[in-house]
Chain A
């Protein structure tokens, strides 16, 4: 499919979404509130997805984002309490994510580990570490609510006849998506990243270390996922539970695939998934509407849509050729 056709498809998709929003607002379902919720739900997804786009463009696939979410959510809260500030919690959450990304990168690139298995291992590890940390740090199993003044406050604007709030983290996610796109498409470094995924031999021949690029992208991917993970308790829920991510890491993965590793499209996909989740809840509590679409099918949507996109191969080739293969110099 040519880039032009692809663009046309995406415009169609965006138009449909906007039309849906208009219909919803007509039905009196409180569109600004839905958009707010959609943006909140989008933020962790988008951050992880953008990071994973960079990751995969360089040739390393990390299916362990769910695991990173879990660990950085707990640790982010811990650091927020240590420093007494939500901002520090977010920053250190990102730092923890970066460290995990570094470990993952080293294991995969230098340890020549199988990336998918290592990623799954990370998920399993986090499933255990999260609750273990909750119990060990705070002596209280399963949940930890922290003081409200540690919350990272959103910005509030007085528009549309009411208050509209959006978190600086959400805005950062949007900016980061744009930056990542520009990085990949318009900078020399971006070309090297993409080449590491497509044709690592060429990069090596040019004298640039494939290993360093891949590990660096793993660190960046981990940092972004870490920020997303820490955002959930500190910017959204006000507390951390052992299942705080609830499968969002996999939705982020779906968004990445859906977007064909394009960071901006990953952002859009994240918003669509987040928004549809918010809408689903509105349907589910509205008398009369809840019978129309069973809730479970709406929950299925992100995955089914991604699978369909993959099947129809909209957008042509989706993955770099050397994705998942450790680079070995012959």
Chain B
């Protein structure tokens, strides 16, 4: 089979195997407690993908995941572990709230301005991790985890103190009608188009521009990159900035593009874990922005489908998160089959 085709099918197969492992493990968990896994999964997948409204809703859940996946993926491409999507997303959300909820702009301009501002704040929050890495060699796993939590408390503070909706202290100022994206159906809005375009743009940057090439070179082969004159610092900076823009967009999508509330809750509950789930999505999508789009659709389906599983069979929908976790762990193991084969040979 041609290498190009093989190169596309192999990663899909690998991801699919990991997904199957997760689903089978979930089935065992259900069996262990006396639930019927087949009925449960049928309910889940049929509910998530078996009707128009199900698909629309799955897409709505998938939208932010597509971009938080980019955050992680573009990090991996530069051999970085940017797990700061959570924090960068929170900043993006508060940015969208500030421009989308507290400022008055004409209808055509408003969503664009709010989205751009949100993306900018997300990128801003990614900067410290990048700078610390370049300047002081601080490992980005630790710095991004710390920054995530600092962002959590900082944004909570901002929502409660300055940007709370008057009379509704549990949430921030909702996005004004002029700032909202158009509703397509259920809770899906046209912001998904912006997100997909963004993913395509990142793909283009990574594979068709000089800076993208440098970034990937630094990630794949630091030695060769050095000889070629590619700057590791630039790669790190670009990777974090793009990641921050992506996460900021994810945050904006939940404020400007998610009915019925169009707002950020003071518990940040409508954003929590979207960043972490983005890691799983990125892995399933093999760290490729377009792969991430499809993987996000699948993941979004799982997140949406869980309630049908709960409604019809009584399985706690949190099991879906457990399945996601197993998929991530399975994907953390590279080339397991190759290893098994090697051991068998030796």
Identify the A interface with B (CB < 8 A).
Answer: 61, 63, 67, 107, 111-118, 120-132, 134-137, 141, 242, 247, 250, 253-254, 257, 294, 296-297, 299-300, 303-304, 306-307, 310-311, 313, 319
> Which residues does chain B contribute within 8 Å of A63, judged by CB atoms?
141, 145
Q: Beyond A120-B83, A307-B146, is A111–B153 a contact (Cβ under 8 Å)? A: no
Q: Are B322 and A125 in contact (CB under 8 A)?
A: yes
Q: How far apart are A233's CB and chain B's nearest CB, in angstroms? A: 18
Measured CB to CB, the closest approach of chain A to B85, in angstroms, equals 11
Whether A116 and B145, one on each chain, are in contact in the complex, defined by CB atoms closer than 8 angstroms, is no
Q: Which residue of B lies closest to A111 (CB)?
A: B333
A122: chain B residues at CB < 8 Å are 325, 329
Q: If A124-B324, A131-B316, A296-B156 touch, does A303 touch B150 (CB 8 Å cutoff)?
A: yes
CB pair B142–A257 under 8 Å, yes or no, is yes
Contact flag A296-B153 (CB < 8 Å), given A127-B273, A313-B136 = yes
Rounded to whole Å, the gap between the CB of B83 and the closest CB of chain A is: 7
| Interface CB pairs A-B, < 8 A, 13 | A112-B333, A114-B334, A115-B332, A117-B332, A118-B333, A121-B280, A121-B330, A128-B321, A129-B319, A132-B315, A296-B156, A299-B153, A303-B146
Bound CA span A118–B145, Å: 15
Determine whether B56 belongs to the interface, using a CB cutoff of 8 Å to chain A. Answer: no
In the bound complex, how far is the Cα of B81 from the Cα of A128, in angstroms?
Answer: 23
- CB of B142 within 8 A of CB of A136, answer no
**Docked-complex contact B318 and A113, CB < 8 angstroms:** no
Q: State whether A120 and B150 are in contact (beta carbons under 8 Å apart), knowing that A128-B321, A132-B316 are contacts in the complex.
A: no
B215 within 8 A of A: no
Give 12 new A-B contacts, CB below 8 A, not counting A118-B328, A132-B318: A107-B333, A114-B334, A117-B283, A121-B331, A123-B276, A123-B325, A128-B322, A134-B316, A135-B318, A300-B149, A310-B136, A311-B132
Which parts of B299-332 form the interface with A (CB within 8 Å)? 315-316, 318-332
Ranked nearest first, the 3 interchain pairs of A and B with the lowest CB-CB distance are: A125-B325, A128-B321, A128-B322
B332 touches A107 (CB 8 A): yes
Complex CA gap A319/B154 in Å reads 29
B332 touches A118 (CB 8 A): yes
Cα-based distance from A304 to B33 in the complex (angstroms): 42
Q: How far is the CB of A139 from chain B (nearest CB, A)?
A: 10
Cα(A303)–Cα(B277), bound, Å? 22
Known A112-B333, A118-B329; contact A128-B153, beta-carbon cutoff 8 A: no
Q: Quote the shortest CB–CB distance from B123 to chain A (angstroms).
A: 19
Which secondary structure dominates where chain B touches chain A?
helix
The answer to whether residues A121 and B33 also contact, given A112-B339, A310-B142 and a CB cut-off of 8 A, is no
Q: Is the interface of A mostly helix, strand, loop or mixed?
A: helix
A116 to B321, Cβ gap below 8 A?
no
CB distance from B162 to the nearest CB of A (A): 11
Is there contact, CB below 8 Å, between B157 and A130?
no
Q: Which residues of A contact B280 (CB under 8 A)?
A: 121, 124
Is B154 a contact partner of A128 (Cβ separation < 8 A)?
no
Interface residues of B (CB under 8 A from A): 29, 33, 35, 81, 83, 132, 136, 138-139, 141-143, 145-147, 149-150, 153-154, 156-157, 160-161, 273, 276-277, 279-280, 283, 315-316, 318-336, 339
B138 touches A310 (CB 8 A): yes
CB-nearest residue of chain A relative to B159?
Answer: A296
Which chain B positions have C-beta within 8 A of A132?
29, 315-316, 318-319, 322
B316 touches A127 (CB 8 A): no
In the bound complex, residues from chain A placing their C-beta under 8 Å from that of B316 are 131-132, 134-136, 141
Whether B322 lies near A300 (C-beta < 8 A) is no
Flag if B150 contacts A114 (CB, 8 Å).
no
Give B167 Cβ to nearest chain A Cβ, in Å.
Answer: 21
Q: How many A-B residue pairs have CB under 8 A?
A: 153
Collect the chain B residues with CB atoms within 8 Å of residue A297's CB.
153, 157
B328's contact among A111, A120, A131, A306, by CB below 8 Å, is which? A120
- In the complex the two chains form, what is the Cα distance from A311 to B142 in whole Å? 11
Distance in Å: Cβ of B314 to nearest Cβ of chain A: 8
Q: Out of B29, B160, B325, B335, name the residue touching A124 (CB < 8 Å).
A: B325
Q: What is the distance, in angstroms, from B28's C-beta to the closest C-beta of chain A?
A: 12
B306 nearest CB neighbor, chain A only: A128
Give the residues in chain B near A124, CB-CB below 8 Å.
Answer: 273, 276-277, 280, 321-322, 324-325, 328
Minimum C-beta distance from B299 to chain A (A): 11
CB neighbours of B132 from chain A (8 A): 307, 310-311
Query: Contacts of A134 on B, CB cut-off 8 Å?
Result: 316
Q: Which residues of B contact A137 (CB under 8 A)?
A: 33
Nearest-neighbor residue (CB-CB) of B137 within chain A: A313
Which residue in A114, A254, A294, A311 is a CB contact (below 8 Å) of B157? A294
- Residues in A with CB closer than 8 Å to B35 are 136
Bound-complex Cα distance A116 to B142 (A):
10
Once the chains are docked, how many angstroms separate the CA of A123 from the CA of B197?
A: 31
Which residues of chain B are near A294, meaning CB under 8 Å? 157, 161
Q: Say which residue of A123, A257, A296 sits within 8 Å of B154 (CB atoms).
A: A296
Q: How far is the CA of A141 from the CA of B132 in the complex (A)?
A: 43
Q: Is the CB of B150 within 8 A of A113?
A: no
Residues in B with CB closer than 8 Å to A117 are 279, 283, 328-329, 331-332
Residues A107 and B329 in contact in the complex (CB < 8 Å), given A112-B339, A124-B277: yes
Cα separation A296 to B159 with both chains bound (whole Å)? 11
